[in-house]
Structure 1
Amino acid sequence: MRERGTLPRLFGSLLLVVAAGISSVAAAPERGGPAPARTPVATPLGQVVPAPARVKPGGSPYAITARTRILVDEGPRRDAREVRRIGSYLAGLLRPATGYALPVTDDRGAAGIRLRLGAGDRSLGEEGYRLESGRGGITLTAHKPAGLFHGVQTLRQLLPVSVEKDSRQRGPWTIAGGTITDTPRYAYRGAMLDVSRHFLTPDQVKLYIDQLALYKINKLHLHLSDDQGWRIAIDSWPRLAGYGGSTQVGGGPGGYYTKAQYRDLVSYAASRQLEVIPEIDMPGHTNAALASYAELNCDGVAPPLYTGTSVGFSSLCAPKEITYDFVDDVVRELAALTPGKYLHIGGDEAHSTSHADYVAFMDRAQAAVQKYGKTVVGWHQLTGATPVPGAVAQYWGYDATGAAERAQVAAATRKGTRLILSPADRVYLDMKYDKNTVLGQSWAGYTEVDRSYDWNPATYLAAAGVPEDAVLGVEAPLWTETLATNDQLEVMAFPRLPGVAELGWSPAATHDWDTYKTRLAAQGPRMAALGIDYYRSPLVPWPTE
């Protein structure tokens, strides 16, 4: 359990210990004196999560010492500030535990950890990196700043768990020798956080952002509206947040983000190389909006606020023109707050909307998103309407999903619609692990850690006719009907989230449950040290702490 009253320090690296094959060596004691403390051997280069694309171990390790510098080769002028910021971020992570000054400098003659951004390294793409470690130092090379940031996360995983402490710890701080060359499998590696069923404060969201960044997740999908609460201020419709955001599941106080708070979350996520994707779910899942404004209802009567967990009963009034004034205003204001390319319009479980009204509504909602320069994302029911060119559908079907629905999704992909895969019985992080899990739900079945990890996004819908190149990536949603605190979020997200991150990042050739569970087990002590209340799955050989 983490200390209360303070937001934990920026999320740390994952220690790979005895369970990952890491042994300890003891120096010979001086004659007549006590034996010195056992010193951990450096973590093998490949024993990190997500698994790197290519690993070439060898050569002498590098030890961070009091003489180490963080060396910044800033590259193109437009990226210079971001590269220096990443260098400062790394130094800030390492200073408390090591006790070293670790100055950030562009002194090319010094030894230390070099961050190098080079236009000539295009093979690394937008997010790839190369980490070279030897006796003389460490060099992290990337084509873009995001790659340097991801390389820093790998570097953190190669250091002892004590590097995460807020007070000076005993070293040594050694990184194994060799080279990692790493690029992601998918450009889209996301996690969704439902802040509507239970409102989550900005600090709660920031903590989750830090946890996502460690695993190279690059998209944060915020579910900002639902029947139980509207969570973002909209100036042109102020009762949405002020009234519609005043409660949550179970009748708690609810809450919402001011525009300043939302901008701060977007900025914080960007500093961790995550793009925020806002979602306003419609035409269903809209009771908070309908309760706030009577004119959005077909009968002109506002329903009461809702604090239960049923779905499918609410709908915006598709025939009324004011509905589209509402949609345009909300999309316009939200697009202006969001520098990322995507805007999610929901579209699932619209059981109270006729098919004809649904199609007509989604046509106009998509047009509004395009009007304000964003790419449409919707749950896969969007494929039952007419996805606009470039639209992305998020598939959340599971084993019980019928062939006709899968065929509908496949037909849309053949017309150019891309897919984000979020199968509910694989990567919905709020599904119970087993019958004894206290939190979460089980409508999609039980989802143990192996089931969450052991599937291939490229072939998951192949039998339905979805081509491999239609898959944009993966996303792990975390719904909060039963979750409100960070500890509750964590016990459902961990240890499944690292596996989903690996599905998105690592090459298919590295995908193997038996080897992965050993790497995952070695992260247990690190998660515990960071205060993460993770689920001790009996399928994982966790080391004895």
Structure 2
Amino acid sequence: MTIGGVRLLTTVILALVGSGVAPAAPATPAAAAVSLASVVPAPVTATPATGVTYRVTAATAIYTEPGSPAVADVAGQLAAILRRSTGYPMPVVDASSPTPTDGIALLLSGAPASVGNEGYQLDVTTASIAVRANQPAGLFAGVQTLRQLLPPTVESATVQPGPWEVAGGRIVDHPRFAHRGAMLDVARHFLPVAVVKRYIDEIALYKVNRLHLHLSDDQGWRIAVNSWPNLAVYGGSTQVGGGTGGYYTQDEYRQIVAYAAARYVMVVPEIDMPGHTNAALASYAELNCDGVAPKLYTGTKVGFSSLCVSKELTYTFIDQVLGELAALTPGPYLHIGGDEASSTTAADYATFMNRAQQIVAGHGKSVVGWHDIVNAPVLPSTVAQYWGTTTSHAAVAAAAGNGIKIIMSPANRSYLDMKYNSRTRLGQRWAGFIEVQDAYGWDPGAYLSGVGETSVLGVEAPLWTETIETLADVEYMAFPRLPAIAELGWSPASTHDWTSFQQRLGAQGPRWRVMGINYYHSTQVSWPTGS
């Protein structure tokens, strides 16, 4: 350890003693370390070292790639988790060598080129733990795996007794698909910033790297737009069933984007159009073809609203709204919806989507749209998100054949707002019941006829909120199905096995209990006693 590292370690220990928080005493009975084979999503390879364990102690430090603030930030997040639950100082210091001899090292060297930008290599010996990657995103992914290899109580908000052992061996891991998403609908019921941040933390643990925020719909507009202020102030003033609704200021949206980015999650914002627009139409009469603003809407039926395709003001509106959103969003995508536009003729829909795609491109972004968008001519950079309930769709297959990338979100497999069964209090059933095995039992790369693996950008699990009002509701519908979708997006198809998965998933139960996640205790999953 460097001299600076020793000074920092001493300072932190003194601070802990002064605050009355003592490092946890070593525990004598050593519980069995968590198996390398228990990780969700399943790694590409996991090779255990029999009889080898590493123990995190009060002397453990976290060593980081020198000169990399991004790596130091990943290390800081890990240290915060470990300090909270172990009571140990866990100083974060620059590594003095690319070959660690003690502690936990996060290094941008030594990883195979094959793991790409998001993969990692994790080595655990009796002396040290080394996470190696080519980019900080890979180190973040490796840290999420390391968290799962520590006892579930490592996620505790208070100091626990330990021991803090990690099973020895090597994991080499990288994602199958680039896009591994979760969609959160904040339009039907508004969800505060704190809830969104909590969900980001929960999805990031399972290597989900996209948060699709559904920011507008008939029932509410959830993002402040300076050039059209009534959208948020008036259009955001209600939600399904009534209530006060709400919206994010631009500063709050920036907070969400930054919080997600620190966890290697890219925010993909959606402004749904030309349908699902009653909140906008109610906010500004001039957006309507007849110049008359409809009333605010708090129901759940869809397909009745549409922007006025023939008005040039409509495209000025879209340009200004998407321009502000593009400036707030560092990622390459803007989602423009495009689904269920049944009040728009096919010709008008094609005209509208052609203009809208060009506007998005003018702001330096690429379009994502629900798969309905392939019914209009699409730009080569446009991505279509399949939400259907069938395994064939000629127009989507044709688009894929022309080079359009597809995000797979079949509603009867991946929609987290579908009920688990007929007894589920929350959710809907129009796409059928989705138990955990249904969510897991499909292959995104071979699901839709004519859409091969190379055409699939990835997977996404949408959570619509017609019946969802609280964080507890969100968690109950997302867990344990979200980790199932996450594994389909990350893990090689060769690792997909229901028997193995339901056991590994069950092992997450004690961790969720410690984290306070309100999850559904599916009878299909082997949950440990007490979880």
TM bucket (normalised to shorter chain) is: over 0.9
Aligned to 2:473: 488
1:99-118 matched pairs, under 5 angstroms: 99-108=87-96, 111-118=102-109
Cα separation, 1, equivalents of 2:121 and 2:161: 28
Residue 375 of structure 1, CA deviation: 0.9
Aligned to 1:182: 173
Aligned to 1:61: 53
Aligned to 1:525: 510
Query: Partner amino acid for 2:528?
Result: P
Q: Does 1:136 align with 2:121?
A: no
Of residues 326, 334, 342, the one that matches 2:333 is 342
Cα separation, 2, equivalents of 1:250 and 1:264: 28
**1:250 alignment partner, SS class:** coil
Residue 453 of structure 1, CA deviation: 0.4
Aligned to 1:538: 523
Cα separation, 2, equivalents of 1:544 and 1:46: 20
Of residues 277, 286, 289, the one that matches 1:286 is 277
Query: Partner amino acid for 1:230?
Result: W
- State the Cα deviation string for residues 173-202 of structure 1 (Å, max 9, x = none): 111111000000001000000000000000
Aligned to 1:513: 498
Residue 415 of structure 1, CA deviation: 1.0
Are the counterparts in 1 of residues 179 and 458 from structure 2 also a CA contact under 8 Å?
yes
The higher relative CO (CA closer than 8 Å, separation ≥ 6) is in 1
Cα separation, 1, equivalents of 2:499 and 2:79: 35
Are the counterparts in 1 of residues 445 and 451 from structure 2 also a CA contact under 8 Å?
no
Are the counterparts in 1 of residues 95 and 105 from structure 2 also a CA contact under 8 Å?
no
Aligned to 1:500: 485
Aligned to 2:433: 446
Residue 254 of structure 1, CA deviation: 0.4
Are the counterparts in 1 of residues 111 and 120 from structure 2 also a CA contact under 8 Å?
no
Q: Does 1:70 align with 2:62?
A: yes
Over 3 Å counting, the alpha-carbon distance change for 1:107 and 1:467 in structure 2 is: closer
Of residues 90, 93, 110, the one that matches 2:78 is 90
Residue 38 of structure 1, CA deviation: 4.8
Cα separation, 1, equivalents of 2:111 and 2:515: 38
Cα separation, 2, equivalents of 1:170 and 1:538: 31
Moved more, 155-164 or 360-369: 155-164
Cα separation, 2, equivalents of 1:341 and 1:258: 21
Cα separation, 1, equivalents of 2:357 and 2:523: 45
Of residues 375, 399, 409, the one that matches 1:412 is 399
Query: Partner amino acid for 1:485?
Result: T
Aligned to 2:6: none
**1:215 alignment partner, SS class:** coil
1:277-316 matched pairs, under 5 angstroms: 277-316=268-307
Query: Partner amino acid for 2:504?
Result: R
Cα separation, 2, equivalents of 1:492 and 1:152: 26
Cα separation, 2, equivalents of 1:371 and 1:118: 39
**2:37 alignment partner, SS class:** coil
CA root-mean-square deviation:
1.3
Residue 418 of structure 1, CA deviation: 0.5
Aligned to 1:44: 35
Are the counterparts in 1 of residues 182 and 463 from structure 2 also a CA contact under 8 Å?
yes
Residue 241 of structure 1, CA deviation: 0.5
Aligned to 2:260: 269
Cα separation, 1, equivalents of 2:113 and 2:436: 36
Question: Could you state the TM-score of these two structures normalised by the residue count of structure 1?
Answer: 0.90
Aligned to 2:5: none
Cα separation, 1, equivalents of 2:403 and 2:110: 32
Moved more, 511-520 or 158-167: 158-167
Cα separation, 2, equivalents of 1:506 and 1:523: 17
Residue 466 of structure 1, CA deviation: 1.7
- State the Cα deviation string for residues 339-397 of structure 1 (Å, max 9, x = none): 00111000000000011000000000000110000011000000000111111000000
- State the Cα deviation string for residues 307-358 of structure 1 (Å, max 9, x = none): 0000000000001110000010011110000000111000000000011000
Aligned to 1:24: none
Cα separation, 1, equivalents of 2:202 and 2:351: 40
1:144-159 matched pairs, under 5 angstroms: 144-159=135-150
- State the Cα deviation string for residues 405-462 of structure 1 (Å, max 9, x = none): x00111111111100000000000000011111100000011111000010011101x
Q: Which sections of structure 1, spanning at least 5 residues, go unmatched?
A: 1-35
Cα separation, 2, equivalents of 1:118 and 1:326: 48
- State the Cα deviation string for residues 80-120 of structure 1 (Å, max 9, x = none): 11011111111111012211111101142762000101387
Query: Partner amino acid for 1:64?
Result: V
Residue 171 of structure 1, CA deviation: 1.6
Are the counterparts in 1 of residues 110 and 132 from structure 2 also a CA contact under 8 Å?
no
Query: Partner amino acid for 2:505?
Result: L
Q: Does 1:428 align with 2:415?
A: yes
Moved more, 336-345 or 53-62: 53-62
Q: Which sections of structure 2, spanning at least 5 residues, go unmatched?
A: 1-26
Cα separation, 1, equivalents of 2:158 and 2:482: 28
Query: Partner amino acid for 2:418?
Result: M
- State the Cα deviation string for residues 63-94 of structure 1 (Å, max 9, x = none): 111111100123xx5xx110111111111110
**1:266 alignment partner, SS class:** helix
Residue 167 of structure 1, CA deviation: 2.2
